[in-house]
Structure 1
């Protein structure tokens, strides 16, 4: 490998590593904030936050890798132009088209990794995320209560707060709960709580030594009840909404289906998902090559405008792929056309821009002679 190719490959990989690390940290920060918010609201358990963050990051890796490669090639080419290193390479007999080989040397392995992620790893990660959430939804309301935290369950109809138990062997300490039913809004306080399972399998949360305050919102009706033991039935969401859960899973879990299973289906939704999985590796290659002419800037001009245009081109590319996926899923675009159309347009754009950069312009006419 020549000195030029070694230096280009080394610089691209170095920039790609920095960009990838930065984007991954930003992604994880945003993701953890969202997951911790869901855990605080009771939508997920605190014990599954780390697992969900790991699997969600796997699903985001294809896009992060594509963007990292595009930015790495773009910054490498731009730096060589702005620091006048390209003058040295041009004087050595090289041209802009000689960048294609080193860029492909970096882009092809990354595209293969993206293909493995989109076709195999991402569907598996989506299945794990779905299983995590389903297992949490199947847990009873009491099992979701975390000592020292307010937890919402049953879509906000029940809110629990429990303290640490003070008696040895007790399941929970003091408990306060708010329960909303069609007629009454109830606030319940108790000195302790435990789970009781009946012979028929029904499970009850039994509160001891407490008070119940009932009121009708907007009306003067009010009730106060003191109790030594009070229980209400805990329903498993898997039992209450099993038919709804099956229907929802069949509609929304297409991302989690293996690629071979999607190929066996002859419907638009499956074809749109296949198109998305196949498009990301091709987009990584196209964007890497497109970054070569986009990065060939005039060092005498400002740099903000060129970088902004390059970012808009990359954003437009990914949005058009997503738009094509939606059209294929709705039956408005044929699968074969949607799979190649966007990539062909941007490949043609890359060839045209390379031609514009490589062509030799005729010298300007000399100044007209004066009489």
Structure 2
């Protein structure tokens, strides 16, 4: 892939958009290509907020000049590249984060974001840290002004491995679609041992607004961790570059957590109960045992399987007696 590829793509996209985009409207875009083996990141930027790179010497911006898409034709977009060392990470974000205001109309701002990243000690996922700091800054009566989308990219200390984690919060005025479902979060988790804890905590953060009883929340976290571990191990064979994706949705009555892996060509059987003799004889899939536990932690489980992927949907009722814990 040529070095001019990123800039040319943005140039062509800009020229295609310009004739049709409404007056005074534009689109920002950051286009990046990552080589997960070498850690090389090539990028071009069309007016989007600058990503921040965390490295052993601190925090720095990834700068590349370029006008937003659609404003005027014939624009040229600067192309840059950098190489992530093992342990380095990058934060991509939408302007709904830095342009959020508190009750005094103070702005969250770029300096605050850069300071938080510089002081970050790694004791929790950086997305959780930033969303928590945003909530503290804006207060409970905040009327969200724009979408808040965060993506982190980290090069693992194991050579040739990278992981991408995403989190988005819907605009407060977003109208529920898809039969009343509202997206609370969309996550991508690298298939590495231990990352089920990361999935569990990020799902818990995403459902905070639902105010689940503590026992109910603990059951959900355990189910998510078990389902994610199964997906990483049995669906993705612990291949770090093959992520487990998680979608968290809510309606007026139901919470849905959909956990997907790439599948291994075998359907998931949710009907079988544990049988120690069958397990020892390898007559039962190990996935069935985790599913038996999961089915006893949530209100319902749906499975979608084909040749290319498995999706396990965990459902919790948000009203009625089951809201305080599943009945036996």
Indicate the TM-score class for this superposition, using the shorter chain for normalisation: under 0.3
- Structure ranking higher in strand proportion: 2
Larger Rg: 1
Q: Which has the higher contact order (CA 8 A, sep 6+)?
A: 1
What TM-score, normalized by structure 1, do the two folds share? 0.23
What TM-score, normalized by structure 2, do the two folds share? 0.25
- Structure ranking higher in helix proportion: 1
